[in-house]
A = this chain, B = another copy of it.
Amino acid sequence: MGIAIGAGIAVLTGLGAGVGIGLATAKSSEAIARQPEAAGQISKNLILGCALAEATAIYGFLIAILLIFMS
C-alpha cells in the first residue's frame, strides 16, 4: 500500500511544472502581443524555461517509476 501512495505522491510533482509552463506561456503570449518583432527571442526563452520546468515533472515521474518497479 505504501508504494502505491508514494508513487502517487511522487508523480504529483508534475503539478508544479504544469502550472509553471502555463504561466510562462501566458506571459510569453502577452510579451509577443506587445513586441511582435521579438517573437523569435521570446519563443527561444520560453522553450528553455519549459524544458527546465518539464525536467522537474520528469524527476517525479522517474521516482514514481522507480517506486513501482524496484519493489
Contacts and interface: CB of A to CB of B under 8 A. Distances in A.
Interface of A: 1-2, 15-16, 18, 20, 22, 26-27
Contact of A2 (B1, B16, B18, B22): B1
Main secondary structure of the interface of A (DSSP, over half): helix
A47 B61 CA distance: 31
Q: How many copies does the complex hold?
A: 5
Contacts of A16: 15, 18
5 contacts: A1-B2, A15-B16, A16-B18, A20-B22, A26-B27
Contacts of A1: 2
Nearest to A27: B26
A32 B27 CA distance: 16
